[in-house]
Amino acid sequence: MKLIKTKTLVTVVGCLSLTLVVACSSLDSNAYENKTESHHLGYQQGSMLDELFSQDKYDVTTHSGFYPLKRGHDALLARLALIESAEATLDLQYYIYRDDETSQLLTWRIYEAAKRGVRVRLLLDDMQSRSDTALARLSAHPNIEVRLFNPLHYRTARGLALLSDFERLNRRMHNKSLTADSVASIIGGRNVGNEYFSFGSAVEFGDLDVLLYGNTVEDIANQFDLYWNSDHAVPIEALKGNVRMVSDEDIQAKVERAGIVQKFSQGEYDFTQLKLYHKFRNDELELYWGPAKLWYDTPDKISGEQSALVDSLVNFLDQVEHSMILISPYFVPTEQGTQSLIDAVSRGKEITVITNSLASNDVFAVHGWYAKYRKDLLEGGVELWEVKANADLGNQWSFTGSSRSSLHAKAIMFDNRKLFVGSMNWDPRSAELNTEMAVVIEHPEYIAQSMESFEATILANAYELRVEEGELVWKDHQTGEVYSSEPHASVWRRMGATIAGWLPIEEQL
């Protein structure tokens, strides 16, 4: 009787699974082929952005002008400035694009750009669950096209999709870029969502983007085309067709319901109170200039292709002369990477790593595996600093509703003269599974300026890790306190990180 019941259960589960597969699969088998190629339209001479950025002092075939966007409110304002100044094209590429106040604000302005004739291409990774209907209605506008990268086949049973096709779906597009008129771009670590732009959120991310003009912008535009036209990018219409185009009334109603105008035009979130706003308005935005290169993975990395970005970075690291400061929110160096950093120290190079503490890390499983390498790194001469959960991120809108801060910037400073900024974390997932992009800019003066405040910032906002009498300790230079265990992390987070460190999941982090 027990055997019969078991067989019956297996049969029922099998039939149910088959029903789910049939019912939830909405991706047309020809979806990858039934699409039209499109490409960027080139640098828009005479455009508003051309007039804003154009200069004759530097060679834009080899140099890029850049403006660092360290603060969340500036990063949001700069995106709005590009969107509202665009006259011909807007290309946006993101891993996460939420449906909250800041993303609604950006979507509204993107829609208004499309209404005035700007061609908009929006490429989103499909790991985040979104409304296919809402995206399809937006894409139905004649000047807007939306595509999803490496989409899940079962749209309403995403867990089932992951289980049935894990090898493919485990690889994601982590690139982040916005390009207007092929004149200016923004790339870096930020996704689109409140926590990335210092707008009221339980967690506020300390992040870094760069606004770019010059040789790297065309490379970013070419990179976007490569992803947009790849076999892995699927038009949203293939997933959700025959929908009514979003209307002006729909957009206005959503804007009014969310109170977008009021929230960003008064009180603590008033854009007009920002220094960057007045720099844009008064044409006073001064860029740093230097030789620059864009590094990026090809979209076929998700099919197992070697990481082009990692190859470039490895070759570059071999040329480091005396120092490297690595900033990565998710730092899982692996045994090989740990040994490489220790070997670099043994050759006389100063290596400093800044990452999240357990209390500030929003992915405690990452911390569990990173923790395995801390003692070896310290004993090998690598400096380790962990950002506090109450770090002052220096945002004008900072801590308006945020109870915890978390490092999210991905940057490297080499030899006090070169800056690496992008989407790549120092972990196996970025190296092996996800696609990434970054810009490398040479500018000793900017690095020197950054270093003037760097030491004071780190001493105030991070713990220095040391090994004393064979044990790991955390030194808070601001208070003088020394901790013998993960500072200000709950017992549950400590247990979670410890257990995660026991699991064979390092290559997934």
- Closest by CA position to 291, among listed 418, 415, 423, 184: 418
Task: Give me the active site residues, please.
Answer: 174, 176, 181, 408, 410, 415
Per-residue confidence (pLDDT) for residue 9, from 0 to 100:
31
Q: Are 370 and 444 in contact (CB under 8 A)?
A: no
Q: Are 295 and 437 in contact (CB under 8 A)?
A: yes
Per-residue confidence (pLDDT) for residue 33, from 0 to 100:
63
In angstroms, rounded to a whole number, what is the distance separating the alpha carbons of residues 177 and 186?
6
Is the predicted pLDDT of residue 377 greater than 50, yes or no?
Answer: yes
Per-residue confidence (pLDDT) for residue 6, from 0 to 100:
33
Is the predicted pLDDT of residue 32 greater than 80, yes or no?
Answer: no
In this prediction, residues 264-280 reach a mean pLDDT of: 86
Q: Are 367 and 361 in contact (CB under 8 A)?
A: yes
Per-residue confidence (pLDDT) for residue 15, from 0 to 100:
35
In angstroms, rounded to a whole number, what is the distance separating the alpha carbons of residues 71 and 78?
11
Is the predicted pLDDT of residue 4 greater than 80, yes or no?
Answer: no
Q: Which residues contact 347 (CB under 8 A, 6 or more apart)?
A: none
In this prediction, residues 422-446 reach a mean pLDDT of: 97
At 201, is the pLDDT very low, low, confident or very high (cuts 50, 70, 90)? confident
pTM above 0.85, yes or no: yes
Higher pLDDT, 21 or 143: 143
The three-state secondary structure class of 293 is strand
Q: Are 291 and 63 in contact (CB under 8 A)?
A: yes
Neighbours of 91 (CB within 10 A): 26
Per-residue confidence (pLDDT) for residue 5, from 0 to 100:
36
At 178, is the pLDDT very low, low, confident or very high (cuts 50, 70, 90)? very high
